[in-house]
A and B are shown apart, each in its own frame.
Chain A
């Protein structure tokens, strides 16, 4: 066999390996649909998505996941309110303000936070924050939107922080020097030059952080309380989609309507996070930072 032929074969073998990720993604979609679609023989797509009642084990059962969708969005939104400022500001701290020694310590600490298993944070929310919250604010339950959002925010901070930080670092040094040369203070340089130049990267970071929060399972399963109803106050319990799937799949009889409904919920969750990721991908490419040469 000639050397050239051999090289071509090797190249294509590697191509096959690289395609595994795409194949797995396709298989995920296929299997979610195969197991999820049968539920639409029982309820219509609209009734499933916008139905207000989620009583999968009643007779007759109700399969409306609107309260679950609302639950997911509510905790994600509240988590973002906390995680976005904390994440972005800590990125600014690491990239622009921190003295070298503190930076060397603080950066790994944020990375460690990213590595904490979600079940452990869920446990903390459940065993420590919930009783404290219940007592302090005199609530019927400490497992609620506020608690879940707090813990979720902690999970989203490292994602937002590390991606924002990369974006801040990639701002060309000349931009800063030009700003200082014009007499701007460090704050003015950060607020008017560096952050705007890194905005696409920071937006990507925020979207990916939110995607992380909306797809997170163990925290909302253990801390959100699990009430499948539209919340009326921030101290109400909710049942976000991942929590519903995780809590009920063990009890749903194999290939029952309930089982199919949970897979269909997975389809909704999958496409929701896929949407977030595609937007992030689009933003990071479309508004890619311009180098100094192009200005």
Chain B
């Protein structure tokens, strides 16, 4: 009899230890990045371009580039994703077409980011002749985050109680008007959460923009969507792997990493806070 409870204690201990390992790994990682990166961060670092072949100066062009790429990606992916989710959740009634769409979305979600990079290179950069540019990079990132947004939007739409729709349809309102005036507004916070998570994902991705948008260094800030840009994740990669000053520029590397982590985790944290607030204050 005792052994049963001892076994339970041992099991619980293992489970708690696993959780602890994960918490310590991420906690230790964040603290380490913060401690090493905070020293590099000052006003000049955030607002000036790099100088002396990237061994001094700041990362402002990379911050700006990441902003352009991410904004472009979400502008393209959000309408597409929400419209897809509306079809899947409001109109679809099962059948082969739906099955194909679902499998398609799932498979797209599983495509490795480097394959998105190859696809962007083949389609946008070469075939459509956009060149390595903000446009190519934003399009590539948009399709990378599309499944995330579809998933979140669909979940948000499904969470709207069926009675809302029935009440509206019962008053003689058309299906489209019901979706536009009743369902979408109720689902908006959920859709927002999903798109914020999509933004975080797009801002942190490196592989998809390596061949489609990111530049090692640009002398000028981008003038149009057909210009190459510097981007934070690519800048981290470049500073850490290329060039002859890898050890010398460590502080700059940690600084850039800290800015990127703060940006991405800040974005994700906003989404998580909105979501938990929503769950507690749901009006239905």
Contact = CB atoms under 8 A, between A and B. Distances in A.
Among A93, A190, A269, chain B packs the most CB atoms within 10 A around the CB of: A93
A89 B200 CA distance: 27
Interface stretch (B44-52, B54-62, B184-192, B264-272): B264-272
A15 B87 contact: yes
Contacts, number: 251
A148 interface: no
Contacts of A89: 14-15, 18-19
Interface stretch (A48-56, A171-179, A270-278): A270-278
Interface in B88-107: 88, 90-92, 97, 100-101, 103-107
Nearest to A3: B174
Given A86-B18, A116-B261, A7 B175 contact: yes
A152 interface: no
A246 B88 contact: no
Interface in A15-60: 15, 17-22, 24-25, 27-28, 31-32, 34-35
Nearest to B22: A90
B22 A119 contact: no
Interface string B202-220: 0111110011000000000
Interface in B107-121: 107-119, 121
B62 to A, nearest CB: 12
Contacts of B25: 154
Contact of A270 (B115, B240, B250): B115
A187 B111 CA distance: 38
A242 interface: yes
A115 interface: yes
A24 B143 CA distance: 8
Give the contact-size bracket for chain A: 35 or more
A154 B264 CA distance: 17
A94 B29 CA distance: 22
B132 to A, nearest CB: 10
A29 to B, nearest CB: 9
A120 B110 contact: no
Contacts of A154: 25
A22 B207 CA distance: 22
Contacts of A211: 110
A123 interface: yes
Interface of A: prevailing SS? helix
A234 interface: no
A22 to B, nearest CB: 4
B23 interface: yes
Contact of B19 (A14, A106, A126, A216): A106
Interface in A199-217: 208, 211, 214-217
B281 interface: no
A115 B268 contact: yes
A69 B26 CA distance: 30
A99 to B, nearest CB: 11
B83 A123 contact: no
Nearest to B100: A22
B163 to A, nearest CB: 21
Contacts of B250: 127
A18 B87 contact: yes
Of B92, B112, B146, most buried by chain A (CB within 10 Å of CB) is B112
B123 to A, nearest CB: 5
A163 interface: no
Contacts of B127: 31
B122 interface: yes
A245 B33 CA distance: 28
B16 interface: yes
B7 interface: yes
Interface of B: 4-5, 7-8, 11-12, 14-16, 18-19, 21-23, 25-27, 29, 32-33, 80, 83-84, 86-88, 90-92, 97, 100-101, 103-119, 121-123, 127, 143, 146-147, 150, 174-176, 197, 200-201, 203-207, 210-211, 233-234, 236-237, 240-241, 250, 253, 257, 260-261, 264-265, 268-269, 272
